[in-house]
């Protein structure tokens, strides 16, 4: 039996005495500076970029890489966080929804690229002819149950990374 004790990091041994008034002031300042509209724009842009990257890689490799969904969820979360700077639950919900939309768009765009190649139709021409009924049919026809796993992870990542982080500098200013 090993009698040696495992040393804990110094930070874990020192109790932190947070000034409640400073914490409330910081939280109010963060809430005053958050912007859901910009967060939505950041997430939409990231979802579009992620969907395009997903489709191009899938079309070039002729192989659907499920982990692209995870990357897309991460990208969307970072987009929401960077522009929205929010801490409310609504930012995570936006990140989750836009991650799912980005995944569906990535799959749809991939299918459109493949159809465009196979039928010799310009991609832009094909995309302009899409309507909601055709989109639903294409998504249903190409759906794979394994998609649920990767979509779920993407939604989780989109939610998780959408929130503003409190910096070490901000934390250091909260002590009494």
For 46-102, what is each residue's pLDDT tens digit?
Answer: 999 999 999 999 989 988 888 899 999 999 999 999 999 999 999 999 999 999 999
Residue 14, pLDDT score: 54
Q: Please, which residues have CB within 8 angstroms of residue 153's CB and are 6 or more apart in sequence? A: 69, 70, 73
pLDDT at residue 173, as a whole number: 82
**pLDDT at 30 > cutoff 70:** yes
Q: How far apart are alpha carbons 90 and 39 in whole angstroms?
A: 10
* DSSP character string of the chain: ---PPPPPPHHHHSPP-B-HHHHHHHHHHHHHH--HHHHHHHHHHHHHHHHHHHHHHHHHHTS--THHHHHHHHHHHHHHHHHH---SHHHHHHHHHHHHHHHHHHHHHHHHHHHHHHHT--HHHHHHT--HHHHHHHHHHH--THHHHHHHHHHHHHHHTTSPPPPHHHHHTTB-
What pLDDT, on a 0 to 100 scale, did the predictor assign at position 120? 94
Closest to 60 measured CA to CA, from 114, 138, 124: 114
Instruction: Report the pLDDT value the prediction gives residue 38, as an integer from 0 to 100.
Output: 97
Sign of CA dihedral 136, 78, 93, 156: positive
Please give the pLDDT value at position 26.
Answer: 87
Residue 104 has pLDDT above 90, yes or no: yes
CA distance 89 to 159: 9
Q: State pLDDT tens for residues 114-157.
A: 999 999 999 999 999 999 999 999 999 988 899 999 999 999 99
The predicted structure's pLDDT at residue 46: 98
Answer whether residue 10 shows pLDDT above 90: no
- Indicate the pLDDT class of residue 174, thresholds 50, 70 and 90: confident
Tokens of 33: 């500076």
18 backbone dihedrals φ, ψ, rounded to 5°:
-85, 135
Q: What length is written for the chain?
A: 176
What's the pLDDT at 64? 80
pLDDT higher than 80, residue 108:
yes
Is a pLDDT exceeding 60 seen at residue 4? Answer: no
Dist. CA 159–CA 94, nearest whole Å: 7
């Amino acid at each position: 039996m090993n009698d040696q004790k495992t040393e804990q990091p110094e930070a874990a041994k020192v109790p932190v005495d947070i000034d409640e008034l400073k914490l409330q002031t910081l939280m109010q300042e963060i809430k005053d500076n958050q912007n859901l509209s910009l967060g939505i724009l950041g997430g939409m842009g990231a979802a579009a970029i992620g969907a395009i990257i997903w489709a191009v890689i899938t079309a070039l490799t002729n192989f659907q890489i499920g982990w692209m969904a995870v990357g897309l969820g991460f990208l969307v979360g970072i987009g929401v966080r960077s522009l929205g700077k929010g801490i409310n639950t609504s930012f995570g919900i936006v990140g989750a929804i836009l991650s799912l939309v980005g995944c569906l768009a990535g799959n749809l765009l991939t299918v459109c690229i493949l159809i465009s190649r196979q039928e010799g139709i310009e991609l832009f021409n094909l995309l302009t002819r899409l309507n909601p009924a055709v989109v639903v049919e294409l998504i249903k026809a190409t759906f794979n149950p394994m998609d649920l796993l990767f979509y779920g992870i993407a939604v989780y990542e989109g939610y998780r990374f959408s929130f503003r982080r409190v910096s070490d500098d901000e934390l250091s200013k909260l002590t009494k």
